[in-house]
Amino acid sequence: MTVLRRFAQARPRLLRLAYTQLGDLGEAEDVVQEAWVRLERTDAESIDDLDAWLTTVVSRLALDALRSARVRRETYVGPWLPEPVVPSPAEDPADRVTLDESVSYALLALLEQLSPAERTAFVLHDVFDVPFDEVGEVVGRTPEAVRQLASRARRHVARERPRFEASADQHDRAVRAFAQAVAEGDLDDLVAVLDPDVVWTSDGGGRAIASRKPVHGAHRVARAWVALWRKASIDPTATPIELNGRLGLMIGGADHHRSVLSFTVDGGRIIRIDVVRNPEKLHHVHGTASTEVHE
């Protein structure tokens, strides 16, 4: 088997790995492409385990990119949210980014709160089952040190994750109830589907209108959405889409910018709404509903 073919077979996993580390699909694709360039410059026949070599190279490149991104995000306008993965029905399945089932959009958002080293250790070991000694080679620390990094990251994720992980059906019911309440401008129904401590975060990146700070609390969040409906600032009809493997929504705006909504559901109620409005993160998102989502 040629090196090119072996790389092509490994590419989906490498892209998934880089995206989970970075939360940015474009940067993940750049990282994987750079890994291929480095492989071309290397004597592939001298590599004992090509998959392990590629995993290490991609992880190191992603870690460097993540560190640089952290510096850039310090001047980002408003909250920074991960780039959503929204497959198009017309897209070739071979070109789709397949995500690990344990990697939800909400988890990617949580990982933003970790240091680059913590995030890398957690992603490599807890998501991709990379041994600690190999993780240590990526982050430049001892196996025991990266074990501690992963442990700290794991505790943080556990504190922030839903107490009761929603099934696909529970998730879909809550999202559809939210969409209907928004379409009708029904304040009471919106409050009913939201957890009392719900958090709504919007990412406009300074390129689309969005709140500069997260909005907390069911009544405040519901009133804000009803206000958008009353002012005709949003299209009342939301489009169901598949977003990072779960049901999400796409809503048009009077400012001609789309909003892509990700939801986290706990105990049948929505505890987190993440809205991406920055058009640079939505250039690959098409305006058609996915048929792959639960009805």
Distance CA 291, CA 90 (A): 11
Q: What one-character-per-residue DSSP string does 175-191 give?
A: HHHHHHHHHHT-HHHHH
Looking at the structure, tell me whether residues 69 and 19 fall in a common domain. yes
Say if residues 221 and 194 touch (Cβ distance below 8 Å).
yes
Looking at the structure, tell me whether residues 128 and 200 fall in a common domain. no
Per cent of the chain over pLDDT 70 is 93
Looking at the structure, tell me whether residues 8 and 136 fall in a common domain. yes
Looking at the structure, tell me whether residues 190 and 247 fall in a common domain. yes
Of the pLDDT bands very low, low, confident and very high (cuts 50, 70, 90), residue 165 is confident
> 238-266 b/e with 16+ CB inside 10 Å = b?
bbbbbbbbbbbbbbbbeeebbbbbbbbbb
Does 231 map to a domain?
yes
Say if residues 237 and 95 touch (Cβ distance below 8 Å).
no
Looking at the structure, tell me whether residues 150 and 15 fall in a common domain. yes
Does 287 map to a domain?
no
Q: Does 291 score more than 70 pLDDT?
A: no
List the CATH number of the domain containing 275: 3.10.450.50
Does 293 map to a domain?
no
Per-residue pLDDT, 89? 65
Looking at the structure, tell me whether residues 14 and 105 fall in a common domain. yes
Looking at the structure, tell me whether residues 13 and 153 fall in a common domain. yes
Looking at the structure, tell me whether residues 138 and 154 fall in a common domain. yes
Does 138 map to a domain?
yes
Does 286 map to a domain?
no
Mean pLDDT of 171-185: 97
Q: Does 6 score more than 60 pLDDT?
A: yes
Does 202 map to a domain?
yes
> For 61-111, how does the pLDDT look when each residue is reduced to its tens digit (9 = 90+)?
999 999 999 888 889 999 999 999 998 766 655 556 777 667 899 999 999
Q: What one-character-per-residue DSSP string does 227-292 give?
A: HHHHTT-B-SSPEEEEETTEEEEEEEBTTS-EEEEEEEEETTEEEEEEEE--GGGSTT--SS--SS
Of the pLDDT bands very low, low, confident and very high (cuts 50, 70, 90), residue 283 is confident
List the CATH number of the domain containing 30: 1.20.140.160
Domain span at residue 175?
168-281
Top-confidence residue, 292 or 96: 96
Per-residue pLDDT, 161? 86
Does 76 map to a domain?
yes
Mean pLDDT of 53-65: 97
**Segment of 70-79, 128-137, 286-295 carrying the highest mean pLDDT:** 128-137
The pTM score is 0.90
Of the pLDDT bands very low, low, confident and very high (cuts 50, 70, 90), residue 154 is very high
Per-residue pLDDT, 76? 94
Which of 119, 139, 160 terminates a domain? The answer is: 160
Which of 101, 127, 160 terminates a domain? The answer is: 160
Does 241 map to a domain?
yes
Which of 160, 191, 207 terminates a domain? The answer is: 160
Q: Does 290 score more than 70 pLDDT?
A: no
Mean pLDDT of 17-32: 95
Per-residue pLDDT, 100? 67
Q: Does 121 score more than 90 pLDDT?
A: yes
Looking at the structure, tell me whether residues 150 and 223 fall in a common domain. no
Of the pLDDT bands very low, low, confident and very high (cuts 50, 70, 90), residue 160 is confident
Looking at the structure, tell me whether residues 31 and 123 fall in a common domain. yes
Of the pLDDT bands very low, low, confident and very high (cuts 50, 70, 90), residue 22 is very high
Looking at the structure, tell me whether residues 180 and 151 fall in a common domain. no
> For 183-225, how does the pLDDT look when each residue is reduced to its tens digit (9 = 90+)?
999 999 999 999 999 999 999 999 999 999 999 999 999 999 9
Looking at the structure, tell me whether residues 126 and 89 fall in a common domain. yes
How many separate domains does the chain show?
A: 2
> For 243-275, how does the pLDDT look when each residue is reduced to its tens digit (9 = 90+)?
999 999 999 999 999 999 999 999 899 999 999
